[in-house]
Amino acid sequence: MPSAFEQVVRNTLQELDCGRELVPVRSLGHSASFQPYCLLVKEPCGSVFWKPRFQGVELSIRDILEPDAPEPDAVQAGPFHFHDAVDGRLQGSVELAAPGQGQLAGEAAMSSSSSASMHLCLLSVPPCTWTALRQERRLRRPEPQILRQLRRQGRNLYVVTKALRTQREVEVTSTQKREGAGRFMLPTTMCLQGKGQGHLSHKRTITIPSGSILAFQPALLTMGSDWEVVLFPDKRQKTFGPPQEGFLSLGFEIFHRGSGGRIQSDAAAWGSAPAEDWQGLQAEVAERAKGLCILSGELCGQLRGGLVEVLPEEEALRGLEELLEQGLRSGHVPPQSGPVGIILGCLSLSDGRLVEELTEIVLYLLGALAALSDTQRGLLAWGLETRALQAPLSLVGSVLEQSTPWQLRQPVSLPAWLLGSSWSTEAPAWTLLEECGLELRGDAPHVSWEPEAQGQLCALYACLALLSRLGEAQ
């Protein structure tokens, strides 16, 4: 299941953010980085099909402006009281019998419950506050070192303009219980028969402190001779780029989670941007997967082995991504040890220069992996090592195809064979889907499609397709 924190955020935004203006915070540990006025950078994601990631830079806007003074208080809306309680149970059974050939029978049940009660408020910085700040304060000179680094890298900088914050401490409890039983009887000279049963219970409790941010709204910050929070930016507008003529200031470049506000991808490097639907996703991923064909079977094996080691390690993946981005800018990468060194060796020539086409594909994969949970990455590592990714790939593809258009909530029925040998929530293929927030419904293979799952599920499909291609190489 998704983390208890992620589930609470998702359920809350369904009620309080119908316009999908807010970006959910994915980790409680990073919540403090998304307070109003905090500065953020956007990590590359490489595709329009999954959402960009924002990361705090440990600065607020007062740290880059002078004179140094506290920011004005944000305007508060609320409080909102949100209580969410879920209690459900699913049960099914199957029996197979043939005259004179024996009997097999089994049954399974799953129950789950969760409860959370929250008091929330929405903090926002209105346009008039930005107007006043811009008139009163100028960019600090010399600028902080982190701004110089971002300028050299050509990275954009964002500022938090809205934040959904808890007003009281919240305790979230979720429980899951799974039970199963089976029996068999085989008519032989000794008449063999047997039976078995088991259960698994799991309870999680987390405490979300008062003042934690659950979701936020970022805006583009531009810096030239002066600074601005941008209203209707040209798509080419950059934080450190030259000012655009006819450019309107004092507003927000808002990143919606809906289809109208996706960030432009690096499609220019791969031809025209695909349509943002199931066919477009297939075409985009197939184009990347085709680029892996230039690798020999031996190099595919080495790359596969290195990825198996780093997939479960978020820090290793982030470090690999930074090395590849730096390598593309500088033209070469320094030697590395361990699985990261193996991966870099597969992507570079003897003189240390990266093969750009292969590096872009791996960066695309890393961007998709960053959209997944730790559990999903661990299962992908297991599937890559055992070459058991084809069934999950078919399952995820079937869900995405049948749920089109992705913006509508709707039921999706699935063939049971896609889930492996049994229709069970223990199956790895199902767990991959469950981590995206899709839950089992009814006695048959059936899910209720949630539009919020689209980005993560598209990223999962891309990962499965690319890793499957590596697994096919001999």
pLDDT digits (tens, 9 = 90+) for 39-60: 999 877 778 888 778 889 889 9
Domain identity same for 59 and 137: yes
pLDDT band at 163 (very low <50, low <70, confident <90, very high): very high
User: Picking from 170-184, 327-341, 397-411, which range would have the lowest pLDDT averaged per residue?
Assistant: 170-184
The answer to whether position 67 is within a domain reads yes
Domain boundary among 261, 287, 302: 261
At 214-241, the pLDDT tens digits run: 999 999 999 988 899 885 656 778 888 7
The answer to whether position 232 is within a domain reads yes
Domain identity same for 135 and 244: yes
The answer to whether position 244 is within a domain reads yes
Domain identity same for 30 and 144: yes
Domain identity same for 339 and 246: no
The answer to whether position 408 is within a domain reads yes
Q: What is the mean pLDDT of residues 345-360?
A: 88
Domain identity same for 344 and 412: yes
Beta bridge pairs of residue 233: none
Domain identity same for 292 and 324: yes
At 165-218, the pLDDT tens digits run: 999 988 877 776 666 666 656 665 556 666 766 666 667 788 889 999 999 999
Closest CA to 158 of 52, 243, 229: 229
Number of domains within the chain = 2
Statement: residue 326 has pLDDT above 90: no
Domain identity same for 79 and 167: yes
The answer to whether position 181 is within a domain reads no
Kindly list the distances between the CA atom of residue 186 and the CA atoms of 98, 103, 105, 369, in Å, as whole numbers in the listed order. 10, 7, 12, 47
Please give the model's pTM, rounded to 2 decimal places: 0.70
Domain identity same for 230 and 367: no
For the ranges 243-257, 264-278, 353-367, the maximum mean pLDDT occurs at 353-367
Quote the mean pLDDT of the chain. 79
State which residues form the domain around 368.
Answer: 267-474
The answer to whether position 106 is within a domain reads no
Residue 429 burial by Cβ neighbours in a 10 Å radius (0-12, 13-18, 19+): buried
- Return the higher-pLDDT residue of 419 and 247: 419
User: Is the previous residue joined to 274 through a cis bond, with omega within 30 degrees of 0?
Assistant: no
Question: CA 13, CA 51: separation in Å to the nearest integer?
Answer: 16
Domain identity same for 215 and 343: no
Instruction: Give kind and range of the element (H or E) at residue 65.
Output: strand 65-66
Domain boundary among 261, 282, 302: 261
Domain identity same for 220 and 272: no
Any alpha helices (H) in 232-313, and if so which ranges? 278-291, 297-310
